A and B are shown apart, each in its own frame.
Chain A
Amino acid sequence: MGTSIIEQLNKTRYNLLKWTTIGWGIWYGTFILKDVIDNSTIIQIAFWVGLLGWIIFAINLVKVLKLQRELKWDQKAREALNDELHQLNLHKSYEFGFWVVLSVTIVFVTLTSFVQISSQLVTKIILYFAVLSYLVAGLIYNRD
């Protein structure tokens, strides 16, 4: 496999990560918004925006899985794309995600001492930030 193809695949992977992040941010963000806002107009807008986000997220997730499946048969390209810098960046992204989850959890533990928040909402928000922070960190560490 030629160099330009590996660089092209690397760029494709970065773009997929970028759109997956955008999709997740919009979809799950609006999904949470519906739980905290009472205004029916905003909820309706949030539904359509969220649907758009879900479509972006789902399409890109499928593309990521497709790319992974294609790379399964090309060991040289797979190894080059998942080289040690990429592995290090993955670990750093997980680490960043961990600290974000820990921080958000601490914020909620503190908040719930003063106000009552539904456990379902708290779980959704923690999940939202966990995935988002991991994806955003991945984007930052892997940018060219």
Chain B
Amino acid sequence: MENYELTNQIKVQRAMKNITQEELASHIGVTRKTINTIETGKFVPSTILAIKLARFFDIKVEELFTLIEK
């Protein structure tokens, strides 16, 4: 998996919805730090959390997370 990079659109989606990391964290049921680390690519969420996030933004998981080959 070292040849792949996971990027996400959480920051963009958050901006579109005009919500803070803290508000998003509250909706999803995690801490703000978890949202922050996912957003910055430091932490890769589980499938469940990824689906929860995608559902919240009303988009597909593949639209929220993209796997890029390096």
Contacts and interface: CB of A to CB of B under 8 A. Distances in A.
A6 B32 CA distance: 9
Nearest to B42: A85
Given A10-B31, A80-B30, A85 B25 contact: no
A10 B49 contact: no
A3 B49 CA distance: 18
Given A83-B31, A84-B49, A85-B37, A6 B43 contact: no
Contacts of B43: 85, 88
Nearest to B25: A3
Interface residues of B, number: 15
B47 to A, nearest CB: 11
B33 A2 contact: no
Nearest to B24: A3
B34 interface: yes
B34 A84 contact: yes
B39 interface: no
A95 interface: no
The 8 closest A-B pairs by CB, nearest first: A3-B26, A83-B30, A85-B34, A3-B22, A80-B29, A83-B34, A10-B31, A84-B46
Interface of A: 2-4, 6-7, 10, 76, 79-81, 83-86, 88, 142, 144
